[in-house]
Amino acid sequence: MNIFDKFLHEIKLLLNNNFKTLNLNNFNDFKGVVVENPPVEFNQDLSSNVALILAKLNGQKPKELAEKIKILLLKNREDIKEIEVAGPGFLNIKFTNLALLKIVKEILLNKDKYGFKKNNKKYNIEFVSANPTGPMHVGHCRGAIYGDVLANLLKFNGNTVTKEYYINDYGNQIKNFTKSVFLRIREIKFKENFVKSKDIYPGEYIIDIAKNILKDKIIIDFENFEKSYEILSKESLKHSMNMIKSDLNKLGIKHDYFFSETEIVKKKLVNKSIEYLKKNNFVEEGFLEPPKGDEKKNWKKIKRLIFKSTLFDDDTDRALQKNDGSWTYFANDIAYHANKVERNYDYLINILGADHTGYIKRIKAAVLALSKNRVKLDCRVCQLVKLFKNGKPYKMSKRAGDFISASDLLKEVDKDSIRFMMLNRSNDVELDFDFNKILEKTKDNPVFYVQYCYARINSLFDSLKKDLQNNIDIDENDFQLNSYELKILRKIFDWPKVVETAANKYEPHRIPFYLYDLATLFHSYWSKGNENEEYKFILNGKVKNINSLVIIKTLSLVVENGMRILGVSLPKKM
């Protein structure tokens, strides 16, 4: 249930049925008309710009039309207590107490479905997709949590979502990774010195993988790298992916599907995809202009297959073959996305790291070409994470080699804090991860503040020997709310709109922002009770006002839904 959508629908019907009385000839399908929360300085429940929009379309004065609509609404709706015409012609509407109670009852009846909207779209979200040559780092954590919460959000909004991981298990980096494991095994087994070079992975995690392979006692020829490569590569990747999956699991993340790049090569999916693009005249043989920058030094003017991505708003056409005629990484990626298109998703979403921004236009162009403009690919970039402690950049251990691993982070901070704080800013801006703030038990620690709100609510119900999940009987003739309760309820009205906007714009950070604001309203109310007996929840061991308890229970329901979307726990005691 969305109170704003519901009222907008009803006001449209009423005005359509009374167009002669209001002298309205043009509604333009009510384009631009909104119903929303009024500004905080107005003590009203809803606000609408309907008079301003329709007055302009019909050559009327907004304030005069607003007064006419006010009279019409008051005449036809028993649920409206009063209407104020504000500013140039905004309608600010206050409901009757009985109308507010009916809304609250409907919210409580919906429980975990409050804010839910059935959309029935099919999404594929590919996220993390870190090279399986090492553990996840802090930057991957941000993309992983963003992708996971976005999936939860889209599911809550009534969609089917596949969470996918693309394993880049083909190419020179895999050979170098396997060679690194091979050398570590020889270091352990034959006491050889481990010689570092630019192509060898130096991280201590390589030693762990080597030890695990030796522990498995698989028959491998450790005397000859080329002879042992196939089986050693398979085993090394298996242990590496297990390490990545373990870190993801600790963050509360499980993918539905893992897609291997090696499968693309084995099944010759690139040839299939390129042939399809050729038939549609999206691929041609030709020459490309030399690239800008350092890459120009190694560039050769060679005839090769080229994808005509400029037909789909890319800046330049893209090579599908390297100088030696082998397929480029982009060609493999086209084949992978062709597979996604064949799986009949309505929307594809790729969550990328900050270093992949330049890759977006070409892959979006490829999806449009492969789907004949049917499927839209949306790429979201997660910017860098900077760690701070005591006001200074925080350098944790770098067991992974040249980066800070997710495992290191998880040793310092719990999963709940990481998930909440990684969404504390929009994904497209850099994030400062402050360890001091996360460990504080104050308002400055958002995850603590929201969890503490829920714990306080549970303590309140416990002290009254009431179950938070049980129904509360309400006297319809005595439902009155004080100013704090009205502010909380009006914020609760916002929840479905927040969910819908966050889902439609792929902006899950709106959820923790909203929950923090809601928790702040509750804590302010709680504190006021400590200052003024009039606002206390309990007097002499009994609930002072059952209506207060109903509003607090409704608030707790929204907090539960929000934290479920975020994948963050709600302890009952803190």
The pLDDT of residue 399 is 53
Give the pLDDT mean for 364-380: 96
The pLDDT of residue 105 is 93
For the entire predicted model, the pTM comes to 0.91
Which residue, 251, 225, 236, 238, is CA-closest to 143? 251
Phi, psi of 46, rounded to the nearest 5 degrees? -135, 155
- For helices 546-566 and 510-531, what crossing angle results, to 10°? 150
Q: Judge whether residue 400 has pLDDT over 90.
A: no
The pLDDT of residue 402 is 62
Q: Measure the CA–CA gap between 572 and 139, rounded to whole angstroms.
A: 31
Q: How many helices (H) and strands (E) does the chain have?
A: 20, 17
The most distant pair of C-alpha atoms in the chain lies apart, rounded to whole Å, by 95
The pLDDT of residue 120 is 87
Question: 10 Å Cβ neighbour count for 40?
Answer: 8
The pLDDT of residue 464 is 87
Q: How far is CA 149 from the centre of its chain?
A: 4
- Low-confidence winner among 2-11, 28-37, 418-427, 530-539 (lowest mean pLDDT): 530-539
The pLDDT of residue 296 is 58
Give the rounded percent of residues in the chain with a pLDDT score beyond 70.
Answer: 97
Give the pLDDT mean for 56-77: 95
Give the pLDDT band of residue 107 (cuts 50, 70, 90).
very high
Q: Judge whether residue 20 has pLDDT over 80.
A: yes
Work out the mean pLDDT of the chain and round it to a whole number: 92
pLDDT in tens, 171-184: 899 999 999 999 99
The pLDDT of residue 275 is 96
Please, are residues 383 and 426 in contact by the beta-carbon 8 Å criterion? no
Please, are residues 84 and 90 in contact by the beta-carbon 8 Å criterion? no
What's the order of all strands across the beta sheet hosting 80-86?
A: 35-36, 46-48, 90-95, 80-86
- Any idea what the CATH number is for the domain that residue 511 is in? 1.10.730.10
Please, are residues 34 and 54 in contact by the beta-carbon 8 Å criterion? no
The pLDDT of residue 397 is 58
Picking from 245, 275, 294, the residue at the C-terminal end of a domain is: 245
DSSP 416-482: HHHHHHHTSS-TTS-EEEEHHHHH--STTSHHHHHHHHHHHHHHHHHHTT--TTS-----GGG----
Q: Judge whether residue 1 has pLDDT over 90.
A: no
Q: Measure the CA–CA gap between 54 and 104, rounded to whole angstroms.
A: 31
- Any idea what the CATH number is for the domain that residue 30 is in? 3.30.1360.70
The pLDDT of residue 211 is 96
The verdict on residue 313 lying in a domain is no
The verdict on residue 82 lying in a domain is yes
Helix (H, G, I), strand (E, B) or coil at 283: strand
Phi, psi of 330, rounded to the nearest 5 degrees? -60, -40
Please, are residues 63 and 89 in contact by the beta-carbon 8 Å criterion? yes
What are the residues facing 84 on neighbouring strands?
92
C-alpha angle 34-40-45 in degrees, rounded to nearest 5: 55
The pLDDT of residue 540 is 76
Give the pLDDT mean for 396-421: 80
Q: Judge whether residue 398 has pLDDT over 70.
A: no
Give the pLDDT mean for 372-384: 94
C-alpha angle 108-110-113 in degrees, rounded to nearest 5: 125
Q: Are residues 87 and 186 in the same domain?
A: no
Of all helices (H) and strands (E), which one includes residue 305?
strand 304-307
The verdict on residue 476 lying in a domain is yes
The verdict on residue 87 lying in a domain is yes
Give the pLDDT mean for 397-401: 54
Q: Are residues 450 and 561 in the same domain?
A: yes
More confident residue, 453 or 477: 453
What are the residues facing 86 on neighbouring strands?
90
The verdict on residue 60 lying in a domain is yes
Amino acid (1-letter code) at residue 439:
L
Picking from 95, 114, 144, the residue at the C-terminal end of a domain is: 95
The pLDDT of residue 3 is 92
The pLDDT of residue 324 is 87
The verdict on residue 436 lying in a domain is no
Give the pLDDT mean for 206-230: 92
Please, are residues 385 and 433 in contact by the beta-carbon 8 Å criterion? yes
Spell out the alpha helix ranges (H) of 378-430: 406-412, 415-422
Domain count of the fold of the chain:
3
Q: How far is CA 76 from the centre of its chain?
A: 42
Report CA-CA distances (Å) from 289 to 316, 328, 438. Answer: 9, 17, 50
The verdict on residue 353 lying in a domain is no
Q: Are residues 90 and 191 in the same domain?
A: no
Give the pLDDT mean for 451-474: 90
Q: Measure the CA–CA gap between 147 and 153, rounded to whole angstroms.
A: 10
The pLDDT of residue 266 is 92
The pLDDT of residue 396 is 62
Q: Measure the CA–CA gap between 546 and 538, rounded to whole angstroms.
A: 10
Phi, psi of 405, rounded to the nearest 5 degrees? -85, 160
Q: Judge whether residue 294 has pLDDT over 60.
A: no
Q: Judge whether residue 31 has pLDDT over 90.
A: yes
The pLDDT of residue 207 is 95
The pLDDT of residue 348 is 98
The pLDDT of residue 295 is 57
Which residue, 284, 383, 274, is CA-closest to 337? 274
The verdict on residue 471 lying in a domain is yes
Q: Write out the residue range of the structural domain in which residue 503 sits.
A: 446-566
Please, are residues 555 and 488 in contact by the beta-carbon 8 Å criterion? yes
Give the pLDDT band of residue 142 (cuts 50, 70, 90).
very high
- Which tokens in the block code for residue 115? 């804010």
The pLDDT of residue 393 is 83
Which residue, 103, 116, 117, is CA-closest to 551? 103
Picking from 35, 69, 95, the residue at the C-terminal end of a domain is: 95
The pLDDT of residue 29 is 93
Give the rounded percent of residues in the chain with a pLDDT score beyond 90.
Answer: 72
Q: Judge whether residue 299 has pLDDT over 70.
A: no
pLDDT in tens, 387-397: 888 888 877 65
Please, are residues 227 and 178 in contact by the beta-carbon 8 Å criterion? no
